[in-house]
A = this chain, B = another copy of it.
Amino acid sequence: MDIWRKQFNLAEWNNLIEASLADADSEPLFNLAGEEAIYDAVFVGGGAGGRFGAAYLKAMGGRPLIIDAWPFLGGSCPHQACVPHHLFSDAAAELDLMRWFSDELFFPKFDASRASILQMVKLFVAGRSTAHAFMNWQTKEQLEVEYVLNARATIVDRHTVRAGGRTFHGRNLVLGMGARPVYPDIPGLQLRGIYDFVSLVEELDYEPTRCVIIGGSKVAMEYGAFFHATGCDTTIVTRSPLMRARSLHHVDEDLRRYVVEGMRKRGMVIYEGAVPLSVNGKDSAGSVTVRLANGDVVDLETDFVFIATGERPNSAEAQEVLGVAVGPTGRVIVDKTMQTTVPNVYAIGDMIDGPMEMFKARKCGVTAARNIMGDHIEFDFTEYPDFLHTTYEVTWVGLTEAEARAEYEEVVIIQMPPYVEGLDTENLPLPCSDRSMLYAFSKPELSGFQKLVVDGTSRRVLGAHHVGYGAKDAFQYLDYLIHRPEGLTIDELGWMNELFLNPEHFIQLSRLRAGRRKLVDL
């Protein structure tokens, strides 16, 4: 269908997307200006990186084309990944609150029979196309980008892609084909009742009662905390200790302890240093055999196995057809301009090394676009802020206390609750702010944790760490501030205008120390 001259509103887009998803034979959607053209770049994949890259290239005056197999732009994030994760994590935070406060204050006795994984999955699937509709609309009408949707791209050569029965030519290709969950090599994974974050939203058709998660990734922690909060008893089986995998940088040990102990406090079982040996069952998974850290081999009963052992880029086609060099884990090798080993071919987002996070995907796309348009720019994502959910929002940026102590002579720590030998801080309702006030006044030990790491010599903030609610947004700006060339001193931080009560108390706590020539802990 040619849609270039059509102006769908959001409801019409929604219907078109839903109809296309429901019908395997639905036709491609061509949003093309019409003339035969050589595009400045053909973006293979219209996910986060492709969409932002194409939009930027267009904004700079170039001519991009996006091709995507799905009938919508935005990729896996709004369809299977970040958006459902956030919905589920919000449900987890809310269920957690309702459980702790069962029959207290204005909360009724918690009714676990109402909480359901399946119901939340259905809520997500029923609503997900509204975000898709918006992105299709925005990309067409506001960003004025040409695209072909609902058509799987076939890469012909480094200037040519076929899709929807037509052939498209570009001076450059930008590969943004994403990644897919990878499974461990153990027997039994063909059984029913085994899911990953993709198949969870696409295929779940029963209510799990007992979950075994294989893997210790962010996804393991985030989805596990949600499953458990619904009342599905959840066990995590992970080789590496949670939050200690190399893929997560800068995890402070005190923050890690607060987070993992918090999961255990809520009844989750976490086996670290454990190796899954097999999933067992006749048709459906009934148990998982695991070798624990102490060598014991145990059978964990379950009716729901969730695989969270990471993802692998969809890089095989690019490797075979174009000959781009690929690393040992399938990641396409690129330089800091996102160019692959093949001239005029770029790769972005989850296709390449580094964190599989939104900021990286989008900024990779922009980096490729700017370089294609002649604006030489390099994107270095070795430092970035990070976060994950349990029933909390956990955010961090910069150095951990241990990393700072290894690198700097005088490290000053400002934390809440403070660590003071012998002080009875267990009922201290600090830190607290929006969405942790009920905890602060009823279950103060649940209200959160935070730490600021400062170089006592230069007075610069080296790292910030937070568990609680409402600080995620700020960590984007803290990342910018502490990583700018001049850094962020405790003096500048302490002179900012806080909005009290603020989720992380860094500004006011810094102010209580900034008067001192020689900084000390707080």
A residues at B contact (CB < 8 Å): 9-11, 52, 55-60, 77, 82-83, 86-87, 89-91, 93-95, 97-98, 105-108, 111, 114-116, 119-120, 123-124, 126-127, 130-131, 134, 137-138, 141-143, 230, 357-359, 362-363, 366, 369-370, 381, 384-387, 393, 395, 418, 420, 422-425, 427-430, 432-438, 440-442, 444, 469-481, 492, 495-504, 507-508, 511-516, 522
Contact = CB atoms under 8 A, between A and B. Distances in A.
B434 A56 contact: no
Given A437-B87, A470-B472, A499 B359 contact: yes
A502 B477 contact: no
Nearest to A515: B59
A106 B90 contact: no
A116 B107 CA distance: 11
Nearest to A501: B86
B515 A434 contact: no
Contacts of A515: 55-60, 366, 369-370
B474 A476 contact: yes
The secondary-structure label for the interface of chain A is helix
A418 B137 CA distance: 12
A358 B472 contact: no
A488 to B, nearest CB: 9
A435 B438 contact: no
A94 B512 contact: no
B59 A362 contact: no
Given A52-B511, A359-B499, A363-B511, 20 more contacts: A9-B423, A52-B512, A57-B515, A86-B433, A86-B437, A90-B435, A105-B123, A106-B114, A106-B119, A127-B441, A127-B442, A130-B427, A142-B418, A358-B498, A393-B434, A469-B470, A474-B476, A476-B497, A477-B477, A477-B481
B511 A469 contact: no
13 contacts: A55-B512, A57-B515, A95-B106, A105-B123, A106-B115, A107-B114, A108-B108, A363-B497, A366-B511, A393-B434, A472-B502, A473-B504, A476-B498
A12 to B, nearest CB: 9
A486 to B, nearest CB: 11
A6 to B, nearest CB: 14
A425 B133 CA distance: 11
Contacts of A436: 90
A52 B114 CA distance: 48
A469 B425 contact: no
Contact of A387 (B137, B499, B516): B499
Contacts of A481: 477, 480
A359 B119 contact: no
A498 B359 contact: yes
Contacts of A430: 131, 134
Contacts of A479: 496-497
B480 A496 contact: yes
A473 B502 contact: yes
A496 B476 contact: yes
